[in-house]
Structure 1
Amino acid sequence: MDQQTILFTLFGMMAVTYIPRMLPAIALSSRDLPPIVAKWLSYVPTAVLSALLAPSLLAPEGVIDLTFSNLYFWVAVPTFAVAIFTRNFFGTVAVGMGLVAAARYFL
């Protein structure tokens, strides 16, 4: 592949990544959203994170596995409890990492 094709591909990829993010920001920057829309949008990060985490926690090998051999699922249970009760991101990450390390060391 020649340099010009690579450069056009790179700029094209940059455009299709940047434009969909900037258009809503530009279009909505001067407007106040209705409260119901703002409330709905506040749940989007949680929904996206759940959609990313659920398959790897519940089905790490492509099949739902809730046995004790699924270390990440069982470590996630107390980690989620810490997240719910403390609402502290750093503490939640520290507990999760500590539990994974402890489980790998002792098991």
Structure 2
Amino acid sequence: MSQQWLWITIITIGLLTLGTRLSFIVFMGKMQVAPIVQQALRFVPIAVLSALIAPALFFPGGSLDISLSNARLIAGILAILIAWRTKNVLLTIASGMACLLILQTLVSHH
């Protein structure tokens, strides 16, 4: 593929993506969404976040790892517990990252 076609493809895909996302912004302000759809859409952020985070926690090396040697899983579980107890996003992120850093440092020294 020539560089010209590559750029045409990238720009076309970018414009299509922009158009798709912009259409929701433009049309959703003018339409009435059914209550059942609104209720279902409340779960989209949770589902997307779970889909992004779960592979990093459970498949850190490309294969399933639910052992105690999986530092990401341990740090993730700690972060989940802190989020559940405190409802504080900043504390959850900071404690999860600190736990991961400590565990990775301990594992690399052994």
TM-score by structure 1 length?
Answer: 0.82
1:63 aligns with 2:63: yes
Q: Which whole-Å CA distance do the structure 2 matches of 1:32 and 1:106 have between them?
A: 54
Report sequence identity in percent: 29
Say if 1:63 and 1:7 are closer, same or farther in 2 by CA, change over 3 A: closer
- Cα offset, 1:6, TM superposition: 5.2
- Cα offset, 1:2, TM superposition: 5.3
- Partner SS, residue 60 of structure 2: coil
**1:11-37 residue CA offsets vs partner (Å, 9 max, x unmatched):** 213212201111122221112322221
Unaligned runs of 5+ in 2: none
Aligned counterpart, 1:85: 85
Letter of the 1:11 counterpart: I
**1:48-104 residue CA offsets vs partner (Å, 9 max, x unmatched):** 111111122112223211112211001111101111222222111111111112223
Letter of the 2:67 counterpart: T
Compute the RMSD of aligned alpha carbons: 1.9
Letter of the 1:103 counterpart: L
- Cα offset, 1:106, TM superposition: 3.6
Say if 1:32 and 1:66 are closer, same or farther in 2 by CA, change over 3 A: same
- Partner SS, residue 81 of structure 1: helix
Question: What is the number of equivalent residue pairs in this alignment?
Answer: 106
TM-score by structure 2 length?
Answer: 0.81
